[in-house]
Structure 1
Amino acid sequence: MGSVLSERVPVLAVLALGLTQIIGYGTLYYSFSILAPDMAAQLSWSSEWVFGALSIALLVGGLTAPWLGMLFDRIGAARVMTIGSFVAAAALTVCALAPNKAAYVAALIAVEASANLVQYGAAFALLVQIRPQVASRSITYLTLIAGFASTIFWPITTALHAHLSWQNVYLVFAALNLFVCMPIHTWLSHEGTSSRVKASAAAPRVEGMLPPARRRIGFAIMVTGFSLMSLVSSAVLVHLVPLLSGLGLGATAALVGTLFGPSQVGSRLINMVFGKNLPALHLAMIAAVLIPGGVLVLLFSAPSVPGAMAFAIIFGMGNGLLSIVTGTLPLHLFGSDGYGRLQGKMMAARLILSALAPFVLAFSMENIGIPSSLGITAALGGLSIIALLSIAALRQEQHRPAEQS
């Protein structure tokens, strides 16, 4: 009976986490771009300064991520997420009530640090802890649900902001984290504990495909690949409107925006239906091809509107798969032991590069032009393909001695 239980996806846990991920990403990340102009006006800052404050907050969040990853393993990801929901609510409240610029920046740093406690890295670790044998499938289902965060929260934030100041919108979002997410995460902390006890009787852990001697280099290569993909994704998405305008496609920015979100969800749905038996490494390689591939389509087709649409679909699909493989590939390669710590280290590298990427691309566009900048960005993304192929080579090395003997 225990082994049958361990092979079933924990549907209630995935659905509950899906709701908290939508709220977590919607309130702590996607809402910012809509509220930023009002924040800038209130603080007598330019929008660039407000987004600069966000980058500083993301950078600090990235530096704290390795410590958080160890916390996932030590006290359980669900308990960390419960604490995170409270911290998020408190940070949003303090940000809304901040009396000056310094207090606002400090509160914003706390908001982004709390995001690491409740978003994908923590949620993936929780699903591995609840039922490691089916965690890959659980992660796929979760990313499918959470993929609607921007689709849901952009209009919600816009509608709220039409009637409320940004401070009051943040207070509403604080209430969502406190009164919806925190009780769910509290329940999951009890569910996670009991599920781990049940699962341990049958199959307590998932073994990694890489041998111990190759894991250090394998992890470094994997993080490099994921970080390069995240760098391209972050840089292009933050500068999407000026990029399109500079390529003569300014009028299509809204169209590209409407195609990007559904493409992310569509790629996850296709993977869920048709890619059940596709190894995580192969899925990661597909993502590594699609992300820079989309950038190249935009670069070589501009100012074609169908080309911009193709870019949005290809790039969106690559980003949708990237969210899945950052959860499933570490489990596939390194197993379930110490999974939270690995997620923490990966979060750190990706967040730091994601924070720096917009500044680097802005500097590059200003000094060498948009086409050259896009070409360099695509080339950096292409290096992630080489990184993932190197991991495949490490796995082949593992099997070769066994075949010879």
Structure 2
Amino acid sequence: MIGEWPRRHANVPKRRGPRGAGRFYGWWILAMGIVIFAWTAMAQTQGFSVLLLPLTKEMAFGSHDIALIFLVGAFGGAFLMPYVGRLLDRRGARRILIIATLAYAGAFGVLALVPSKAAAMGALLAVRLIGSIVLWLGASVLVAWWFSRRRGLALGILVGAGSALLSCLAFGLSVLIEHVGVAGSFLVLATLTLFVITPMVIWGVVDTPEELHQHPDGAPPSATDSQGQPPSADEGRTGVRASEAYRTPFALVMLAAGSLAAIVTTGYLFHEATIFIEQGATAQDAARSLVPQMVGNAVGILIVSSLVDRHRLRGIVAISMVQLVFTLWWGFNLQSFGSLWLFGLSFGLATGLIFGYVLAALPRYFGTLHLGEIRGTFGAVTMMMASFGPLGFDVLQGVDTSVFIWVAAVAAALISLASLIIPWPEPMEDWANTSQGPDLARQSSGPSE
């Protein structure tokens, strides 16, 4: 089904400043998306790792309490993510993000001011769900709506820069806790969310270029596309539903590849310190490897997602699967190459390649009209699979050290083979420029556009 770009506010007068005619507002949307993305730090693994010891010392939390919140957040998030995505598609990102940031600030306020442990656990679960699902998904969908031919580049910048800033915020949280304590830190977070992030969303975020009489990518109406036709705002809001998308072999292979990457990386990372110590390294070495992991992940996402704008990259799934298995083997044979920094870089690259491709490929091949639902479904499945990573690692490693590697290698080989033989869908802009509409049965195996 092809949807139409919403034609709201048709008589809005021309504005001055960043929203004025001739100034593409999408880059401001991208900048705000990076801030929103980074502000999820307290809900991500990095934030929880920083909070673990302070919560146990100052707020009578046990490590099992934190683990329970993290697990419930993973399963709850997997259940809620498709529904949140559907809400974003129907109601727009701005409205959902306003509600989410207000709730985020409220949850931080409860953690800072309410002494009840039960209330604190509920608030911490709310932080986990709001940050890792609503804010993260809202930022990525919002940016995708503002770009078309440069969408992959914009999304790569969003995740790359957002991840780097997220890690910096997690480190800043640890410093803040040292100075004002965990309760004081939550109060600071509540204040910043309420008086900085929420106003930015209220007065800064605009759902679509059409609302400002602009076009995706900032292309003026007089410009022409490769067919010699002027670009239409309708192009940015075509798409199919998640139920249609995930009936295609392409989407199923992407889902399988993302799930395997999630299982392998979370399974290994959960036991990384122990594995390092068994090979003569230290827990501090494991912690230091997180920085190159972040760099490798950001670089992989940025490069691959930007290439999706111009190329099909049929071999990227196979390449990412080979990289994933090689890095997993390297993780159990650290002495083979010596450099732990290079291992961390390779580890981050292994996930960055596949997730960077999926990030840009889903809107490219299935459109943005139902992108929230499509990305929400992908996120739900991979989040659920990731939660089984540590358990699967324990079970398989209990049999033999190499079993986990061999199982991952066989799964990666099957996914790689499938990616090379399945038909590849046409880009959504090609569907939109034909009178036939998005026929999912019409596939192409050409190397690039």
Say yes or no: TM over 0.5.
yes
The question of 1:72 aligning with 2:88 is answered yes
Structure 2 counterpart SS, 1:216? coil
Seen in structure 2, the aligned counterparts of structure 1 residues 319 and 185 have a Cα distance that, compared at 3 Å, is farther
Corresponding residue number in structure 2 for 1:126? 142
Q: Displacement, 1:27?
A: 5.9
How many angstroms apart in 2 are the aligned matches of 1:274 and 1:9?
A: 23
1:205 aligns with 2:235: yes
Q: 1:83 to 1:286 in 2, by over 3 A?
A: farther
Report the Cα distance in structure 1 between the residues aligned to 2:377 and 2:417, rounded to whole angstroms. 21
| Contact kept? 2:89, 2:373, Cα under 8 Å | yes
| 2:183 aligned residue | 167
Q: Where do 1:1-400 residues align within 5 Å?
A: 10-26=26-42, 29-42=45-58, 44-190=60-206, 192=208, 194-195=210-211, 198-199=214-215, 202-205=232-235, 216-218=247-249, 219-250=251-282, 252-271=285-304, 277-279=310-312, 282-299=315-332, 301-304=333-336, 306=338, 308-365=340-397, 367-368=398-399, 370-377=401-408, 379-381=410-412, 383-389=414-420, 391-392=422-423, 398-399=442-443
C-alpha displacement at 1:148, in angstroms?
0.6
1:137-194 deviations in Å (ceiling 9; x for gaps):
2111212211213441232122111112222222222223222222222234435364
302-311 or 140-149, which moves further after superposition? Answer: 302-311
- 1:336, distance to aligned residue in structure 2 (A): 2.1
- Give the Cα–Cα distance (whole angstroms) in 2 for the partners of residues 111 and 75 of structure 1: 22
Distance 1:149 1:400, change over 3 A: closer
- Structure 2: unaligned runs, 5 residues or longer: 1-20, 217-230, 427-439
Amino acid at match of 1:24: T
Gaps of 5+ in 1: none
Structure 1 letter corresponding to 2:294: G
For residues 164 and 180 of structure 1, the distance between their equivalents in structure 2, rounded to whole angstroms, comes to: 20
Larger Rg belongs to:
2
Question: Whole-Å Cα distance in 1 between the matches of residues 32 and 393 of structure 2?
Answer: 37
User: Quick one: distance in 1 between partners of 2:200 and 2:128?
Assistant: 20
Letter in 2 for 1:295: L
1:242-292 CA distances to partner (integer Å, 9 max, x unpaired)?
222234333632442332222223334545787863436554554333233
Conserved? CA contact 1:232–1:381, under 8 Å: no
Distance in 2, Cα, partners of 1:233 & 1:106? 28
Deviation at 1:84, TM superposition (A): 1.4
Task: Report the CA distance between 1:208 and its aligned residue.
Answer: 6.9
Deviation at 1:316, TM superposition (A): 0.9
> SS in structure 2 opposite 1:205?
helix
Q: Secondary structure of 2:235's match? A: coil
Q: Is the 8 A contact 1:287 1:318 kept in 2?
A: yes
The DSSP-based 3-state class of the residue aligned with 2:234 is: coil
Which deviates more, 245-254 or 68-77? 245-254
Preserved CA contact (<8 Å) 2:425 2:444: no
Distance 2:27 2:136 in 1: 17
Shift of residue 130 of structure 1? 2.6
Q: What's the % identity of the aligned pairs?
A: 19
Q: Is the 1:222–1:387 contact (alpha carbons within 8 Å) kept by the matching residues of 2?
A: no
Q: CA deviation at 1:196?
A: 7.5
* 170-179 or 40-49, which deviates more: 40-49
User: Do the aligned partners of 2:93 and 2:207 also contact (CA within 8 Å) in 1?
Assistant: no
Q: Is the 8 A contact 1:98 1:107 kept in 2?
A: no
Displacement of 1:35? 1.3
Moved more, 188-197 or 142-151: 188-197
Q: Note if contact 1:140-1:268 (Cα within 8 Å) is conserved in structure 2.
A: yes
| Distance in 1, Cα, partners of 2:409 & 2:56 | 32
Q: 1:282 to 1:89 in 2, by over 3 A?
A: farther
Distance 1:298 1:250, change over 3 A: same
8 Å contact kept, 2:305–2:359: no
TM-aligned CA deviation for residue 295 of structure 1:
0.9
Structure 1 residues 239 and 149: CA distance shift in structure 2, 3 A: farther
Instruction: Tell me, in whole angstroms, the C-alpha distance in 2 between the residues paired with 1:289 and 1:224.
Output: 15
Task: Note if contact 1:58-1:355 (Cα within 8 Å) is conserved in structure 2.
Answer: yes
Q: TM-score, normalised by structure 1?
A: 0.83
Distance in 2 (alpha carbons) for counterparts of 1:292 and 1:242: 20
State the alpha-carbon separation in 1 of the partners of residues 289 and 414 from structure 2: 26
Task: Tell me the TM-score normalized by structure 2.
Answer: 0.75
CA distance in 1, matches of 2:263, 2:274: 17
Letter in 2 for 1:204: D
Give a deviation string over 1:345-377, Cα, whole Å, max 9, x none. Answer: 112112222233234334544x33544334434
When residues 189 and 104 of structure 1 are mapped into structure 2, their CA distance, relative to the original with a 3 A threshold, is same
User: Are the equivalent residues in 2 in contact too, given 1:58–1:351 (CA < 8 A)?
Assistant: yes
